[in-house]
Amino acid sequence: MINKLKLQSIISKYYLNGTIESVKWSIKDNQLNIDFTGPNKDFIGSVNVGDFSAESCEVGIYNTTQLNKLIGITSGELMLSFIKTQGFYTKLVLDDTKFNLVYVLADTNLIPSVGAVTEPPKYDLEIDLNEDHIDSLIKAKNAIADNDHLVIKLAPSLDAEMGCDFTFGDNTEHSNRITYQIPVNEKKDMFELPFNSNTFKEILAVNKDSKGKLKIHKDGLMSLTFTSNDINSKYYLIRKPN
């Protein structure tokens, strides 16, 4: 059994409001792992669930939008099971007290492969993201909704040794911009890196219920990790080209 809201939360952390449709669910020893990559290969991520009661298997979810619609009409606790046909997993079955739902699974060979990230031995910046940080960053992005530019840089701060500036919007004379700063209580080497603000915002939005950590390497890699109960999500973003 799994609660509907928990299942929706798991899916949202890779779906990213429609960004990722096709993934593999890998279940082993009651743990679920989902790896995924962005449509432009500019980020990859994973979701791991430590308590996921289902048989060990690997199945293909090709159309997550449709799966979300099916789950949306259910309520409460869901019974989850899989159907095999001629040795292949072909259907996901979800039952609550009113509905019996059947979702057709895809051939796992149709799911895009996900690469691996070689993490640096040490990141140049690490910041804990609390609920206020996440909420403020989402508000800043929403106010500059028609622009996908985000620059993250270390800058002088009035409240700490340094601050990490998140600037949404283009750095041109006639462009709207918003900067939000998080204090950094440690001297760091300066850097300035551009990232996709749309991807950044969607990741924050689906992890608002989690404790987060942001890491940046000045060569252009961002790591975002979140933990909420037994759900862990991780994302790696590559800097935008100049």
Q: Does position 242 have pLDDT exceeding 80, yes or no? A: no
Type of residue at 100: N
Cα→Cα distances 197→60, 151, 240, Å: 29, 9, 10
Number of helical (H) and strand (E) elements in the chain, helices listed first: 4, 16
For 15-27, b where at least 16 C-beta lie within 10 A, e where not — what string? bbeebbbbbbbbb
Give me the half-sphere count of Cα atoms (radius 13 Å) on the Cβ side of residue 13.
27
Q: Does position 16 have pLDDT exceeding 70, yes or no? A: yes
The pTM (predicted TM-score) of the whole model is 0.93
Does 125-238 match 2-110 at the fold level? Answer: yes
Q: Which sequence spans correspond to the domains of the chain?
A: 2-110, 125-238
| Per-residue pLDDT tens over the stretch 32-64 | 999 999 988 899 999 999 989 888 999 999 999
Tokens of 14: 């890779």
| Per-residue pLDDT tens over the stretch 167-201 | 999 877 778 999 999 988 777 778 899 999 999 99
**Ramachandran region, residue 121 (left: φ > 0; alpha: ψ -120 to 50; beta: rest):** alpha
Residue with tokens 């551009």: 194
Q: Is the CATH code 3.10.28.10 the one for domain 125-238?
A: no
The values of phi and psi at residue 67, to 5°, are -60, -40
Identify the three-state secondary structure at position 58.
strand
| CATH of span 2-110 | 3.10.150.10
CA proximity to 146, closest of 173, 177, 125: 177
Q: Are 123 and 164 in contact (CB under 8 A)?
A: no
Tokens of 194: 């551009």
Q: Residues 222, 48, 98, CA angle at the centre, nearest 5°?
A: 130
If pLDDT is split at 50, 70 and 90, which confidence band does 162 have?
A: confident
Q: How far, in Å, CA of 187 to CA of 154, rounded?
A: 10
What average pLDDT does the segment 141-163 reach?
86
Q: What is the dihedral of CA 152, 153, 156, 157, to 10 degrees?
A: 20
Average pLDDT, the chain: 92
**Ramachandran region, residue 143 (left: φ > 0; alpha: ψ -120 to 50; beta: rest):** alpha
Q: State the pLDDT at residue 160.
A: 62
Q: State the pLDDT at residue 226.
A: 96
